[in-house]
């Protein structure tokens, strides 16, 4: 079993045993009890994602079915809850599930991700991610997995970004320290503020911004001035930034958001 962060970095760079990333959690979804897995990758290499920059990427997916099948059958509720951007709810999610998420799931089924307690000692995670900018939920809602998993993995990171649609539920209150409340209307923005959350709001094309909101500087409408890695604003209450963030609906189905 790998017992140091240095040895894990070697394994992620190609030494034997070779892994593509690490599993952070396998178990029940805190949203609906379905079987889920949380995977972290892009640990030793820069991410190719233009908007985020070089960040550790994490995927929260159903353990038992392919991501596209989960979308088609509604089983993705375990990892996205009642998010209005799910295809089952009308479909404006910006993540390209058919490409990146399916590829992560395929690698998971082929045993390419190191398992805690079997392939590596989970106590190395704070050191493994030390100094990184860590994205909670490249796909999936971070609140589907226990808060302690994220708190441990990000204990020594430089910064983190994360978004949750579960912010209205008291059981997920701890996440306000590391995640933004994903809000979809001015009314929800006001409610999230009253509940002590910082917010990330998706607005319809050409809808107005609201006082106290800043347009995401990596967005097309702001001229794609920076990346999440450099900006780091979306880390909930633990980020230095205090403003709420707003962005115009985007991605393959963004035009359907009203």
Tokens 């089952």: give the residue: 88
CB 166 within 8 A of CB 141: yes
Q: How far is the CB of 176 from ligand SF4 (least distance, A)?
A: 16
Residue 50 neighbours by CB distance under 10 Å: 9
| Residue 78 or 227 having the CB closest to ligand SF4 | 227
Minimal distance, residue 241 CB to ligand SF4, in Å:
8
**How open is the CA angle 216-210-239, to the nearest 5 degrees?**
45
Closest separation between CB of residue 137 and ligand SF4, Å?
12
Provide the minimum distance between the beta carbon of 231 and ligand SF4 in the complex, in angstroms, as a whole number: 3
Q: Which H or E run includes 200?
A: strand 199-203
Task: Assess contact for 165 and 209: CB atoms under 8 A.
Answer: no
d(CA 108, CA 147): 22
Cβ closest to ligand SF4, residue 36 vs residue 231: 231
Residues that bind ligand SF4 (CB under 6 A): 161, 216-218, 226, 228, 231-234, 245
Q: Smaller CB distance to ligand SF4: residue 16 or 211? A: 211
Distance CA 3, CA 220 (A): 43
Sign of CA dihedral 121, 228, 197, 142: negative
Q: How far is the CB of 233 from ligand SF4 (least distance, A)?
A: 4
212 close to 246: Cβ distance less than 8 angstroms: no
CB of 25: closest distance to ligand SF4 in angstroms?
23
Q: How big is the chain, counted in residues? A: 258
């Amino acid at each position: 079993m790998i017992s140091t962060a240095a040895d894990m970095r070697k394994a992620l760079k190609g030494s034997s045993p070779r892994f593509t990333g690490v599993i952070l959690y396998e178990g029940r979804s805190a949203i609906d009890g379905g079987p889920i897995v949380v995977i972290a990758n892009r640990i030793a290499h820069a991410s190719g994602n233009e908007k985020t920059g070089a960040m550790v990427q994490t995927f929260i997916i159903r353990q038992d079915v392919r991501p596209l099948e989960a979308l088609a059958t509604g089983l993705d509720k375990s990892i996205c809850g009642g998010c209005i951007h799910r295809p089952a709810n009308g479909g404006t999610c910006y993540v390209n599930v058919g490409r990146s998420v399916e590829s992560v799931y395929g690698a998971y089924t082929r045993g390419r991700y190191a398992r805690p307690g079997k392939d590596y000692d989970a106590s190395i995670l704070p050191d493994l991610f030390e100094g990184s900018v860590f994205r909670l939920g490249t796909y999936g809602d971070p609140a589907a997995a226990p808060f302690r998993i994220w708190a441990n993995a990000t204990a020594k990171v430089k910064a983190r970004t994360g978004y949750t649609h579960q912010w209205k539920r008291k059981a997920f209150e701890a996440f306000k320290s590391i995640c933004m409340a994903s809000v979809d209307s001015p009314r929800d923005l006001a409610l999230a503020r009253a509940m002590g959350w910082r917010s990330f709001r998706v607005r319809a094309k050409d809808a107005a911004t609201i006082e106290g909101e800043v347009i995401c500087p990596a967005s097309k409408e702001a001229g794609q001035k920076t990346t999440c890695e450099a900006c780091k604003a979306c880390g909930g209450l633990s980020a230095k930034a205090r403003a709420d963030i707003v962005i115009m609906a985007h991605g393959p189905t963004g035009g359907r958001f009203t």
